[in-house]
Amino acid sequence: EVQLLESGGGLVQPGGSLRLSCAASGFTFSTYAMTWVRQAPGKGLEWVSSISGGASTTYYADSLKGRFTISRDNSKNTLYLQMNSLRAEDTAVYYCAKHTGGYSRAFDIWGQGTMVTVSS
Amino acid sequence: EIVMTQSPATLSVSPGERATLSCRASQSVSNNLAWYQQKPGQAPRLLIYDASTRATGIPARFSGSGSGTEFTLTISSLQSEDFAVYYCQQYNNWPLTFGGGTKVEIK
């Protein structure tokens, strides 16, 4: 079964850091680009960052202003999101998602999400 | 950045009726558009990609159409499990962007 499982969320103070992980199974992880999407409480979906299958190319939302770093370890079938200088507005459920493949950058598999709360 | 605008924000429909949801892009995205369904407390689910291709396991009552800047998701006969929020997403250009969502509620 194709599956994504996020972990690493929690409560962090403003200015703090957190690293999210997304463990993949059931598919050839290194073949697919991966993405992080977030959703603030009661709000819509917001694309955060994407990384190519081989990790050579990364993309970020402008609003992150260099605070977040996406990475992956294909030997461990795991995607990461390092989040620094966290702000209250970063409070959200963070989902990892698998791209469909080929040129398409639609997301056909999603994790269950991990909640990040930034508060003092 | 390409802005995706969905309308209406809320759609009230009776079970068995047809629902038509719209998504407009601020510039052409060709056919690089996806639709997702999200129920409360759940992750989004891919319904349609490349504007009109149903994802694996998606019932035939869901159909997508359009290209360029105007797109439509049609649910031909609403079932109880279809009441949810629907999002469109363009992937023609970086940054990838989502619409604000349309909530389909029971009339």
CA atoms within 13 A on the CB side of A43: 15
What is the rounded average pLDDT of the residues B19-37?
Answer: 98
The confidence score (pLDDT) of residue B30 equals 96
Taking CB atoms and an 8 Å cutoff, what residues of chain B touch A105?
32, 91, 96
The confidence score (pLDDT) of residue B41 equals 95
Residues B43, A95: C-beta atoms closer than 8 Å: yes
Query: Measured between alpha carbons, how far is A108 from B60 in angstroms, rounded to an integer?
Result: 17
DSSP B25-75: ESS--TT-EEEEEE-TTS--EEEEETTTEEPTT--TTEEEEEETTEEEEEE
Query: Measured between alpha carbons, how far is B102 from B73 in angstroms, rounded to an integer?
Result: 11
Render each residue's pLDDT in chain A as its tens digit; 120 residues: 999 999 999 999 999 999 999 999 999 999 999 999 999 999 999 999 999 999 999 999 999 979 999 999 999 999 999 999 999 999 999 999 999 987 788 999 999 999 999 999
The residue to which tokens 């930034």 are assigned: A118
Task: Classify burial at B10, counting beta carbons within 10 Å of its beta carbon; exposed 0-12, middle 13-18, buried 19 or more.
Answer: exposed
The confidence score (pLDDT) of residue A104 equals 82
Query: Measured between alpha carbons, how far is A80 from A84 in angstroms, rounded to an integer?
Result: 13
The confidence score (pLDDT) of residue B60 equals 98
Choose among A45, A50, A113: nearest Cβ to B98.
Answer: A45
Q: How far is A109 from chain B (nearest CA, A)?
A: 8
Query: Measured between alpha carbons, how far is A43 from B22 in angstroms, rounded to an integer?
Result: 19
What is the rounded average pLDDT of the residues B58-77?
Answer: 97
